[in-house]
Amino acid sequence: MSDEQRERMRQTMDLAFRAPAALTIVASDSTLTFTSDSGSALVLYGDGRKFKQSVEGGGDIEIKARWQGNDFVVERKVSGGGKVTEDYLRSQDGKQLFVIVSVDPGRGRTIDFRRVYDPAATAPQSQ
């Protein structure tokens, strides 16, 4: 494996395993905006539209999002490095957000796991 392939594989693994501790999702008529606890935001269209995001250190990530029933599915492909798919869905009681993550490093095996987000605590409002 070349150094460039190794770097692309590292980028794929970072996408999968470096998840934000907190996540805010805001919906509009045609987009969902995902904002991490670090303040970085990603605006995605739910119609399967693709776009490329440049990565520091070289390479691109192709991102595509779509609605699949009540689930929001985000696919990220690292040029020359594999694919990460995230399936966002609410728990049955609506109190948690599940993110089912599937990592396909392009070597015949996939890694699947789940992240669980609880709602943020709200501060009591003064009267």
pLDDT digits (tens, 9 = 90+) for 39-95: 888 899 999 999 888 777 667 889 999 999 999 999 999 887 789 999 999 999 989
Proportion of the chain above pLDDT 70, given as a percent? 92
Superfamily of domain 3-117: Calycin beta-barrel core domain (2.40.128.20)
Instruction: Say if residue 109's pLDDT is above 70.
Output: yes
Q: What is the pLDDT of residue 60?
A: 84
Q: What is the pLDDT of residue 127?
A: 53
CA separation for the pair 98, 73 (Å, rounded): 12
127 Cβ neighbours under 8 A, 6+ residues apart: none
CA separation for the pair 124, 38 (Å, rounded): 24
